[in-house]
A and B are shown apart, each in its own frame.
Chain A
Amino acid sequence: MMQWITGIAAISLAALPLASLPAPALAQAPKPATGTLTIGFGAEATMMDPTRSAAGVDQYYFGQMFEQLTRTDPSLKPINWLAESWTLRQEEGKPVIEVKLRPGVTFHNGDPLTSADFEFAVKRQSNPKISRWTHLLAAVEAFEVIDDLNFRIRFKEGDGSFTAGNLILWAVPKTHLEKVGDEEFARNPVGTGPWKFVSRTVKDELRLEAYDGYWNKEHRPTVKNLVVKVIPEDLTRVAAFKTGAIDWIDAVPPAMVEEFKTLPGVQTGSFVTPNNMYIAMDAIGEKSPFRDVRVRQALAHAIDVDAIIKRVLFGQGERYVQVGKGSIGYDPDLKPYSYDPKKARQLLTEAGFPRGFEVPCYNLTTPREPYQKEVGEAYFAYATSVGIRCKVVGMEYGNWITFGRRDRQGHIDGLYSNMWGHGLPGDPGTPWAGHMHSYVPGQGWGVTSVHNDPELDEMVRELKRTMDLAARDALIKKIARVKHERVAGGLPTYRPVATFAWRDHVTFKPWPSPGFWRGMQEIGLKQ
Chain B
Amino acid sequence: MSGFLARRLMQGLVSIVGASVIIFLISRMSGDPILILLPNDAPPSLIEETRRNLGLDLPLWTQYFIFAKNALVGDFGNSYRWEMPALDLILDRLPATVELAIFGLLFSVAIAVPVGVMSAVHRGGWIDRIGRVFAMLGQAMPAFWVGLLLILVFAIHLNWLPAFGRGTPSHIILPAIALGWYPVAAQTRIVRSAMLDVLDSDHIRLSRALGTPERLIVWKYALRNAAVPLLTMLGVYFAAMLGGAFVVETIFAWPGVGRTVVEAVFSRDFPVVQAGVLFTSILFVLSNLLVDISYGVVDPRIRDAR
- Are A and B bound to each other? yes
The B-contacting residues of A in range 217-259, CB under 8 angstroms, are 229-233, 235-237, 239-240, 242-243, 245
Q: Using Cβ atoms and an 8 Å threshold, which residues of chain B touch A129?
A: 53
B205 to nearest A CB, angstroms? 53
Out of A55, A138, A243, A402, which one reaches B31, CB within 8 Å? Answer: A402
Q: Is B39 an interface residue (CB 8 A)?
A: yes
Query: B164 to A240, Cβ gap below 8 A?
Result: yes
Q: How far is the CA of A205 from the CA of B46 in the complex (A)?
A: 33
Name the residue among A129, A183, A447 with the largest chain B CB count within 10 angstroms. A447
Q: Tell me which residues across on chain A come within 8 A of B151, comparing CB atoms.
A: 235-236, 239
Which among A134, A186, A398 has the greatest number of chain B C-beta atoms within 10 A? A398
Question: Closest Cβ of chain A: how far from B254's Cβ, in Å?
Answer: 8
Are B250 and A407 neighbours in the complex by a CB distance under 8 Å?
Answer: no
Report whether A204 and B165 are in contact in the complex, using a CB–CB cutoff of 8 Å: yes
CB-CB contacts below 8 Å: B11-47 with A: 30-32, 35-44, 46-47
B residues near A202, Cβ cutoff 8 Å:
82, 89, 92-93, 255, 260
From A46-54, A106-114, A510-518, the one touching the partner chain is A46-54
Query: Are A444 and B43 CB-contacts (below 8 A) given A243-B155, A405-B35?
Result: yes
**B260 pairs with A132, CB closer than 8 A:** no
Stretch of B99-107, B111-119, B262-270 contacting A (4+ beta carbons < 8 Å):
B262-270
* A515→B30 CA distance, assembly (Å): 31
* A408 on interface, CB distance cutoff 8 Å: yes
Q: Are A239 and B47 interface neighbours, CB within 8 A?
A: no
Residue B132 interfacial (CB < 8 Å): no
- Contact pick for A240, options B43, B148, B163, CB 8 Å: B163
Per-residue interface assignment for chain A, residues 123 to 165, with 1 indicating a CB less than 8 Å from any chain B CB and 0 otherwise = 0000011001111001000000000000000000000000000
Q: Does A430 interact with chain B (Cβ within 8 Å)?
A: yes
Measured CA separation A226–B92 after assembly (Å): 23
In the complex, chain B residues 52-88 whose Cβ is within 8 Å of any chain A Cβ: 53, 81-84
Question: B232 contacts which chain A residues (CB < 8 A)?
Answer: none
Question: A75 at the A/B interface (Cβ < 8 Å)?
Answer: no
Q: Which residues of A contact B46 (CB under 8 A)?
A: 128, 132, 134-135
Contact B163 A444 (CB under 8 A): no
A203→B259 contact, CB < 8 A: yes
A454 to B37, CA, bound (A): 30
In the assembled complex, the CB of B29 is this many whole angstroms from the nearest CB of chain A, namely 11
Nearest CB in chain B: distance from A301 CB, A: 29
Contacting A204 at CB < 8 Å: which of B42, B148, B255?
Answer: B255
Q: A407 contacts B37, CB within 8 Å?
A: no
Complex CA distance for A447 and B81, rounded to whole angstroms: 22
Q: A54-B81, A398-B267 are in contact. Are A128 and B163 (CB under 8 A)?
A: no
> Across the interface, do B253 and A402 meet the contact criterion of CB distance under 8 Å?
no
Nearest-neighbor residue (CB-CB) of B82 within chain A: A46
**Chain B residue nearest to A187 in the complex (CB):** B84
Asked if A448 lies at the interface with its beta carbon under 8 angstroms from chain B, I say: yes
- Whole-angstrom distance between the alpha carbons of A52 and B259 in the complex? 23
**Which single residue of chain A is at the shortest CB-CB distance from B80?**
A54
Interface status of A6 (Cβ within 8 A of chain B): no
Q: How far is the CA of A201 from the CA of B260 in the complex (A)?
A: 13
Check if A433 is an interface residue, CB within 8 A of chain B. yes
The reply to whether B250 and A232 contact each other, CB–CB distance below 8 Å, is yes
- A307 at interface (Cβ–Cβ under 8 A)? no
Q: How many residues of A contact B (CB 8 A)?
A: 52
* B160, closest chain A residue (CB): A243
Contact B41 A430 (CB under 8 A): yes
Instruction: Name A58's closest neighbour in chain B (CB-CB).
Output: B81
CB–CB A47/B50 < 8 A: no
B83 in complex: contacting residue of A135, A186, A232, A399, CB < 8 Å: A186
* A447 adjacent to B156 (CB under 8 Å): no
Checking A236, A242, A448 against B251 with a beta-carbon cut-off of 8 angstroms, the contacting residue is A236
Contact B266 A398 (CB under 8 A): yes
Out of A138, A183, A236, A366, which one reaches B164, CB within 8 Å? A236
Give the contacting residue for B253; candidates A186, A229, A401, A443; CB below 8 A.
A229
Given A128-B50, A236-B251, does the pair A242, B156 have CB atoms closer than 8 Å? Answer: yes
Is A357 in the interface zone, CB < 8 Å from B?
Answer: no
User: Is B163 a contact partner of A407 (Cβ separation < 8 A)?
Assistant: no
Contact A434 B156 (CB under 8 A): no
Knowing A132-B46, A202-B92, A401-B36, say if A245 contacts B163 (CB, 8 Å).
yes
Q: Is A239 touching B37 in the complex (CB atoms < 8 A)?
A: no
Q: Is B152 positioned at the interface, with any CB of A under 8 Å from its CB?
A: yes
Q: Which residues of chain A have C-beta atoms less than 8 A from B8's C-beta?
A: none
B252 at the interface (CB under 8 A from A): yes
CB distance from A170 to the nearest CB of B (A): 16
List the interface of chain A (C-beta within 8 A of B): 46-47, 52, 54-55, 128-129, 132-135, 138, 183, 186, 201-205, 229-233, 235-237, 239-240, 242-243, 245, 366, 396-399, 401-402, 405, 407-408, 430-431, 433-434, 441-444, 447-448
Interface residues, chain B, with chain A CB atoms under 8 Å away: 30-32, 35-44, 46-47, 49-50, 53, 81-84, 89, 92-93, 148, 151-152, 155-156, 159, 162-166, 250-253, 255-256, 259-260, 265-268
Give 10 A-B contacts (CB < 8 Å), ordered by A residue.
A54-B81, A132-B46, A183-B84, A186-B84, A233-B250, A236-B163, A396-B266, A407-B35, A434-B40, A444-B43
8 new A-B pairs (CB below 8 Å) besides A132-B42, A401-B35? A47-B82, A128-B50, A183-B84, A202-B82, A235-B148, A396-B266, A402-B31, A433-B41
